[in-house]
Amino acid sequence: MKDYIEERAVEVAEFIIENNATVRQAAKRFGISKSTVHKDCTDRLKQINPAIAKEVRGILEVNKQERHIRGGMATKEKYLQKHESA
């Protein structure tokens, strides 16, 4: 694995841990795809730093379990704003 990929994987993982960020937020922050963030955090990080990989995996699991709630809240907010402007 190339050095810059390893560095990016660790940086992305640290960002997710520090900010309790979602895959989408990390992808936007680093200018990479969600697929790349996921691959970095689940596959590549296991080889580089298993301890950080486990911690990130836990955060990603929680985010995955909560995503339907965030989606519902975003939809609610969208319609509230639409109603207020009408």
Exposure letters 14-35 (e unless 16+ CB within 10 A, then b): ebbeeeebbbebbbeeeeeeee
- pTM tops 0.85: no
**pLDDT attached to residue 29:** 97
Question: Would you give the DSSP letter of residue 9?
Answer: H
Tell me the pLDDT tens digit for each residue of 13-72.
Answer: 999 999 999 999 999 999 999 999 999 999 999 999 999 999 999 999 998 888 777 778
